[in-house]
Structure 1
């Protein structure tokens, strides 16, 4: 499917970008980040206009986010339970749920930037869990702005190295996740050690 979308990109341009990003925000498996980067490369060569690439990605992201939020607001927690039962996306929904539990409202912004693979599911969870619409929208729009500008600009600047850049950004995501796990583990070990020392000191004094 990726090759087909890339082949259609010079023909349908911004419209294809908008629909692809919109659908990916609804958890449809479309390589929207790759598509936006390649579109940025086409803009660098003059086949597309950069501002149209960026605008299409941003508008598609915002509409898709709002769609996921309002669909889940209507469906509520039962919708999330149904998503968890699907073998391919169930684990991602679980990861998104844990991410929201840890990060709260900031999960919306983070899942549209450094943790973008969780973005669609955080959008659904935000609606199902009753997040305030305005708070969700502000975080989601700001995150969509950064995501759209980042991927389109990378493609514009490094259009001839899209495959290498895509792999690098995927690896960077892995490093970010690993770093977060390491920091979290370190904090937990430190907290556990302090609790142990406090209990041990209390027992010794008694």
Structure 2
């Protein structure tokens, strides 16, 4: 599948690049990073023009980010209206505020440093109500870094694109896994803090009452 897609780059180069980065920003399994590396290599051989390839990839990525943001925005409004639990609503509001406060940096770094998380950051930013102008500035800046690095590396290491793509994929995948693990730890910590604490005496009383009810059920 990947080899078939890469074979289309020298033939339909700009369209394939734009569509590939667009779809990858919507969490679809498209090897966009490898496409950009290949585009850089084909530019060295004269099959593509380097700046045109970079612009096509950048345009597709920005459009994909925008669509992901608006999908998250629409879904976020639905989730907010469907959340009837006060506790759940409080947690959602807290998460929303954190994304709004620190969302610009999350958007920027998820474009290139931890790119596997990028589509989900788009959805989360839209759902949390991150200001569109802030999202767009951070997203465009991050996509510029992403496209420049990958197309540039493809041009420099044209003879070792597959090996380079695997190496970069492993590195970004590991970073994304570490970030996801850290976010899960923070979420668990916040959830435990929101959980009401039961005094020891109260906990013991409840346990005894539960034991008595269980014994009564067995007798009956």
Q: TM-score w.r.t. structure 2 length?
A: 0.68
Call closer, same or farther: CA 1:121–1:174 in 2, change over 3 Å: closer
Q: Structure 2 CA distance, aligned partners of 1:28 and 1:101?
A: 26
RMSD in angstroms over aligned alpha carbons? 2.9
Q: Hey, what does 2:189 align to over in structure 1? A: none
Displacement after TM superposition at 1:65 (Å): 0.4
Q: Hey, what does 1:9 align to over in structure 2? A: 9
Q: Hey, what does 2:203 align to over in structure 1? A: none
SS in 1 for 2:9: helix
Q: Hey, what does 1:49 align to over in structure 2? A: 49
> Is contact 1:74–1:128 with CA below 8 Å preserved after alignment?
yes
Call closer, same or farther: CA 1:24–1:178 in 2, change over 3 Å: closer
Q: Does 1:60 align with 2:60?
A: yes
SS in 2 for 1:76: helix
Q: Which string of whole-angstrom CA distances, capped at 9 and with x for unpartnered residues, describes residues 186-206 of structure 1?
A: xxxxxxxxxxxxxxxxxxxxx
Q: Does 1:145 align with 2:144?
A: yes
Displacement after TM superposition at 1:75 (Å): 2.2
Q: Structure 1 CA distance, aligned partners of 2:159 and 2:58?
A: 23
Q: Which string of whole-angstrom CA distances, capped at 9 and with x for unpartnered residues, describes residues 131-184 of structure 1?
A: 100110000000000001110000011111011111221333356468879x99
Q: Structure 2 CA distance, aligned partners of 1:18 and 1:65?
A: 13
Q: Does 1:71 align with 2:71?
A: yes
Q: Does 1:19 align with 2:3?
A: no
Q: Which has the larger radius of gyration?
A: 2
Q: Hey, what does 2:30 align to over in structure 1? A: 30
Q: Does 1:155 align with 2:154?
A: yes
The count of aligned residue pairs is 167
Q: Structure 2 CA distance, aligned partners of 1:7 and 1:35?
A: 10
Q: Hey, what does 2:163 align to over in structure 1? A: 164
Gaps of 5+ in 2: 81-95, 184-220
Call closer, same or farther: CA 1:121–1:180 in 2, change over 3 Å: closer
Runs of 4+ in 1 over 6 A off after TM superposition: 178-181
Q: Structure 1 CA distance, aligned partners of 2:19 and 2:47?
A: 19
Q: Structure 2 CA distance, aligned partners of 1:19 and 1:127?
A: 22
Gaps of 5+ in 1: 81-96, 185-206
Q: TM-score w.r.t. structure 1 length?
A: 0.72
